[in-house]
Amino acid sequence: MAAGTEQEMLKALGRLGDAEEITPTQLTKTVSDPDVPEVLATEGTFYRWAVIIGKKSARSANSDRVYLGVTSGNNEQPYEISPDRYITLDAPPGTKIDLATWYLDVTTAGDGVVIIYG
């Protein structure tokens, strides 16, 4: 291995060793009434990154698309998530965002999202 490559690897390992450990968490959110968007999680559920998957449970795809947004009114959520598809949300560096600031709207009762976040 070339010395430059070894030095780069040791530098990267040093950064990794100094990094804060994050344990990913998973939750499922379904909505029972298609006319009433619901908050994604309880207040104080913070993320730096989140993967939001169009599933009603870990192994069950939704029947139709679901919508995500930061407003609570019906049909006001702009992020469309198709069944078995996902979106990612990232907080700006050095910040965290509460999942309770996001609302989920569904077109089919019982559809929802699985959220993996850290």
Q: What is the pLDDT of residues 32-68, one digit of tens each?
A: 999 999 999 999 999 999 999 999 999 999 999 999 9
| pTM summary value | 0.82
At 87, which amino acid appears? I
Q: Tell me if 3 is assigned to some domain.
A: no
Q: Residues of the chain with pLDDT > 70: what percent?
A: 84
Q: Quick one: average pLDDT of 14-40?
A: 87
Q: Tell me if 9 is assigned to some domain.
A: no
Q: Tell me if 112 is assigned to some domain.
A: yes
The Cα 13–Cα 74 span in angstroms is 48
- How many domains would you assign to the chain? 1
Q: Which residue has the tokens 């030095």?
A: 7
The Cα 111–Cα 56 span in angstroms is 5
Q: Tell me if 71 is assigned to some domain.
A: yes
Q: Tell me if 30 is assigned to some domain.
A: yes
Q: Tell me if 5 is assigned to some domain.
A: no
Q: Quick one: average pLDDT of 88-115?
A: 97
pLDDT of residue 10: 59
Q: Tell me if 75 is assigned to some domain.
A: yes
Q: Tell me if 82 is assigned to some domain.
A: yes
Which residue range is the domain that position 74 belongs to?
Answer: 22-117
Nearest 5°: phi and psi at 59? Answer: -125, 15
- The CB density around residue 68, as the number of other CB atoms within 10 Å, is 20
pLDDT band at 1 (very low <50, low <70, confident <90, very high): very low
Q: Quick one: average pLDDT of 74-87?
A: 96
